[in-house]
């Protein structure tokens, strides 16, 4: 453990990047990209569970419940918010205003 500070963190970084490049992650997001929902909802759900003292039940139940609730919220967010919003990512205000001008004239 004495050498971990010097070498361990560097090796952990290298292994993380190596696995990210080498592991076959094709088709990993075929059902949707839930990563943003996981990022957004994880902290509030964990805090809510802690305020309800679920963390006193032990680490495994707390993590399992938090992960399950976060994943449910992330999936719902993907299908009902993010996926719909991505359809409008290339819409410009100029195009909307030009279409509105021609329709009102």
38-86 pLDDT, tens digit each = 999 999 999 999 999 999 999 999 999 999 999 999 999 999 999 999 9
Q: Which domain holds residue 96?
A: 29-104
Which one has a higher pLDDT value, 33 or 101? 33
Q: What does each C-alpha distance from 103 to 91, 96, 99, 100 come to in angstroms?
A: 17, 11, 6, 5
Mean pLDDT of 6-29: 87
What pTM did the predictor assign?
A: 0.69
Lowest mean pLDDT among 13-27, 52-66, 87-101: 87-101
Q: Report yes or no on 18 lying in a domain.
A: no
Cβ–Cβ < 8 Å for 73, 29 = no
3-class DSSP state of 33: coil
Q: Report yes or no on 19 lying in a domain.
A: no
Q: Report yes or no on 4 lying in a domain.
A: no
When divided into structural domains, the chain yields a total of: 1
Q: Which residue has the tokens 């292994």?
A: 15
């Amino acid at each position: 453990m004495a050498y971990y500070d010097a070498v361990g963190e560097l090796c952990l970084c290298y292994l993380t990047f190596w696995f990210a490049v080498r592991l076959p992650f094709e088709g990993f997001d075929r059902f949707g990209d839930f990563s943003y929902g996981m990022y957004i909802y994880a902290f509030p759900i964990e805090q809510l569970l802690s305020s309800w003292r679920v963390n006193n039940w032990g680490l495994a139940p707390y993590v399992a419940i938090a992960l399950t609730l976060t994943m449910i919220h992330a999936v719902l967010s993907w299908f009902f918010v993010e996926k719909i919003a991505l359809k409008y990512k290339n819409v410009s205000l100029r195009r909307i205003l030009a279409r509105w001008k021609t329709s009102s004239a």
